[in-house]
Amino acid sequence: MNTIVNCLAAACGAVLWGLAADSVQAADPPNVLIIMADDCTFNDLPLYGGQNAKTPNIDQLAAEGLTFEHAYLSEAMCQPCRSELFTGQFPMRNGCAWNHSASRPDTISMPQRLQPAGYRVGLAGKVHVKPKSVFPFQTVEGFDPNCVRNPTRTCNLQSAAKFIAADKPFALVVALVEPHVPWVMGDASQYPPSKIKLPPNIADTKLTREAFSRYLAEITYMDDQVGQLLQMLEQSGKANDTLVLFTSEQGAQFPGCKWTNWDTGLHTALVARWPGKVAAGKRTQAIVQYADVLPTLLELADVESDPRSEVPVMDGISFLPVLLGQQDSSRRYAYGVHNNLPEGPAYPIRTISDGAYRYIRNLSPDEIYIERHLMGVQGDGKLNNPYWHSWIGQASVDARTYALARRYMRRPAEQLYHTADDPYEMHNRIDDLALADKRAELSAALDRWLKQQGDPGQPQDSIESLQAARRGQHRFVPPSEQ
């Protein structure tokens, strides 16, 4: 009898939740607050199994919202991933397929998409997208706009509080600069280098431990800013009417994370909170990408996004049904690219993941991988990252360090990882006959996506293509929609 009663109660609860979800679009669309970290490897956060960092505010946000286990961006560099987030388009379509480049001049982004629904669309902190005509965000002051030039600037919430206080609905992106290098903020004494548990893809040297300590301190400092923003929202009286999204952006500036197509580069944290609409304390296995965020917001705002209209098509798909608990899946695959210019010599990479397995193609496997920000020397002769050079020094006497340095610089034509069991992707299983069908499936799906995107592959990562993009004269245009 109790079993029957419990089943009926569960069924009624599901119906009521579904009715509440269906009523969302009939009500006023919510405000939107997107909080971005900068260069924070997702699984360095306790929320995703990180064993070092302290992030009480992010943890509390997750307790009040929905955590995405499989959220990805398509290029692990600041400018391409932000362009994807703000346009709903993958790098080839919006044109920002390299760092420090630009989107196509005919691209439209979040401000133009949401303004017809009455939204004020603002951006505080790091911008790192261009041209301005494509990204006409209202500037909101109070946060450091550049992680290198003003590395110790603290935030001031006055302008952000004023922005969200107006009567019209708001969509505000707060793009923090932590924990991007230089790691100078926060209290590193909380993280004694000798007590840190380094991830398996990071070599264990004295300088690496010291750098990781400073990085962890900046994660905690970033978390404190998240707390301040959430408190500001609560004090405004609009917390219950605001969808909050927190994301960690791409991986940190350690070898194998940022600037790569490994999971620790492309996998990102994503937490969504919307009291009364998004179930609290839940996790979802749904696969989503940065390109999916804007279509989700447009569906919430009931803004027309029909690809048959004159408005440029988006690659993203709305995951609103996942947010509202109506379904537990979204897209089948997440896609990724890497074009290494101007960060170093050309080294194009393409990848696909189904959440459990990742397949990677290195299109120039005979070349060595070099990333100047991580491995190079500054104009004054100082090393960009001394800890990398400690890897090279230790590699001659330590087999594990040698293997990690070689893994970073010399890569095979194809890689296949069972990410679910090997989250740091240390074991390439491309020749595992038991995974031959999975390899074929992912390879074919990647081919279809590259064709759909008009991606020429290796020729894309060239000086000519990059320079043309910087002039707004992108050489490769995705095929027109059928």
Contacting residues for 350 by C-beta, under 8 A, at least 6 apart: 261, 335, 336, 337, 338, 360, 361, 363, 446, 450, 455, 457
pLDDT value, residue 314: 94
Per-residue pLDDT tens digits for 335-389: 999 999 999 999 999 999 999 999 999 999 999 999 998 998 877 878 888 999 9
Model-level pTM?
0.93
H or E stretch covering 67: strand 66-72
Per-residue pLDDT tens digits for 208-254: 999 999 999 999 999 999 999 999 999 999 999 999 999 999 999 99
Q: What are phi and psi of 350, to 5 degrees?
A: -135, 150
- What is the percent of the chain where pLDDT is above 90? 83
Per-residue pLDDT tens digits for 218-227: 999 999 999 9
Q: Is 95 helix (H, G, I), strand (E, B) or coil?
A: coil
Q: What are phi and psi of 289, to 5 degrees?
A: -130, 165
The CATH architecture that domain 29-331 belongs to is: 3-Layer(aba) Sandwich (3.40)
Mean pLDDT of 32-40: 98
Supply the DSSP string of 236-278, one letter for each residue: HT-GGGEEEEEE--S--SSTTSTTSSSHHHHEEEEEEE-TTTS
> What separation in angstroms does the CA of 429 have from each of 121, 179, 403, 424?
45, 32, 16, 13
Cα-based torsion angle of the residue sequence 124, 127, 130, 133 in order, rounded to the nearest 10 degrees: 10
The rounded distance, in Å, linking the Cα atoms of 346 and 54 is 37
Question: Does the pLDDT of residue 476 top 90, yes or no?
Answer: no
Give domain limits for the chain. 29-331, 337-470
pLDDT value, residue 24: 53
DSSP 166: S
H or E stretch covering 415: strand 414-417
> What separation in angstroms does the CA of 301 have from each of 85, 231, 295, 311, 329?
17, 25, 10, 16, 22
pLDDT value, residue 59: 98
The rounded distance, in Å, linking the Cα atoms of 302 and 102 is 29
Q: What's the chain's average pLDDT?
A: 92
pLDDT value, residue 146: 83
Per-residue pLDDT tens digits for 412-433: 999 999 999 999 999 999 999 9
Question: Does the pLDDT of residue 260 top 80, yes or no?
Answer: yes
